[in-house]
Amino acid sequence: MSGNPRPVFRFAPSPNGELHLGHALSALTCFSQAQEAGGRFLLRIEDIDIARSRPEYVQGIFDDLTWLGLSWEEPVVYQSQRFDVYREAAGRLRAMGLLYPCFATRSEIEAAATGVSDPDGAPLYPGLWRGRPEAEVRRHQAEGTPYALRLDMAAAVRIAAGRLESALLTFREDGQEVEAAPERWGDAVIVRKDTPTSYHLAVVVDDAWQGVTHVTRGRDLFAATGLHRLLQVLLGLPEPAYRHHPLVMDEEGQKLSKSARHTSLRALREQGMTREQVISRIGLAG
């Protein structure tokens, strides 16, 4: 082997609904970037949400991508098969003193919220369980109360700044340095109550493990990238280059969602829409 390793791109859908036009834009953009760069194109099934993921949605992803004319390397990676790896990564953050158990329910968080929202529009976590006495934590654990593990954001940002020897955490977006600003998430959930990871932890662990060099995804994940960059620094993982493409809107100017079945790729295909029409609808040249 000689020369530069090939760049690695990936499309990473969650199989908890049918893919829509926004996914088509992500997948086609990643795929054509990979082709232009002579790179590799990987598919990762982000099925950490065991309760909502369904095999028929996984099959739907394969069908939709094939219909769009895409091909990907085998084997496809399934996050549900990698829970041990995420547990290990969470364990490392915990050993650094950066994660703490949070037993709060959604309604307790809402009741204590300050009116400030996180970038997803949820109430910013008001730190209810940060710094609680160890005995209280142990008592709740012994009672079997479910808990999430949250990042102590202030401590995490401090450690990252020490590692980088810079107070400004950034990521690379299309060749520009962009401020990461992970503190907008507050003490983010790193391990959910119902599954041994969160989207944020699994995505940074897997992008690094799969050698992903270029992450292309929708603008709705722009703020998440700031948190991902922080986790990469804390876990000593390499930094991919990022691109966030504009979102595809519906006729009313609303963001498309997986629950809107009438805009799913499958529904559009069944209505007779062609691949070329999809490409033109999402604003890509055919």
Point out which residues bind ligand GLU (CB under 6 A). Answer: 12-14, 46, 203, 217, 221
Minimum CB–partner distance for residue 12 and ligand GLU (Å): 4
Of the pair 12, 265, the CB lying nearest ligand GLU is at: 12
Q: List the structure tokens of 53.
A: 């993921």
Cite the DSSP H helix spans in 147-261: 153-164, 199-209, 222-235
Of the pair 147, 198, the CB lying nearest ligand GLU is at: 198
Residue 83 CA to residue 197 CA, distance in Å, equals: 7
Which neighbouring-strand residues pair with 41?
Answer: 9
SS3 128: coil
Minimum CB–partner distance for residue 13 and ligand GLU (Å): 5
Of the pair 159, 247, the CB lying nearest ligand GLU is at: 247
Residue 125, judged by CB atoms within 10 A of its CB (0-12, 13-18, 19+), counts as buried
Minimum CB–partner distance for residue 25 and ligand GLU (Å): 12
Residue 7 CA to residue 30 CA, distance in Å, equals: 11
Minimum CB–partner distance for residue 165 and ligand GLU (Å): 28
Of the pair 14, 198, the CB lying nearest ligand GLU is at: 14
Minimum CB–partner distance for residue 203 and ligand GLU (Å): 5
6-12-15 Cα angle (round to 5): 155
Of the pair 12, 102, the CB lying nearest ligand GLU is at: 12
**Closest C-alpha among 67, 64, 74, 6 to residue 35:** 6
**Amino acid type, 206:** D
Of the pair 46, 152, the CB lying nearest ligand GLU is at: 46
Parallel, antiparallel, or unpaired for β 40-45 and 8-11?
Answer: parallel
Minimum CB–partner distance for residue 154 and ligand GLU (Å): 25
As a whole number of Å, the end-to-end CA separation of the chain is 36
State phi, psi for 173 to the nearest 5 degrees.
-120, 110
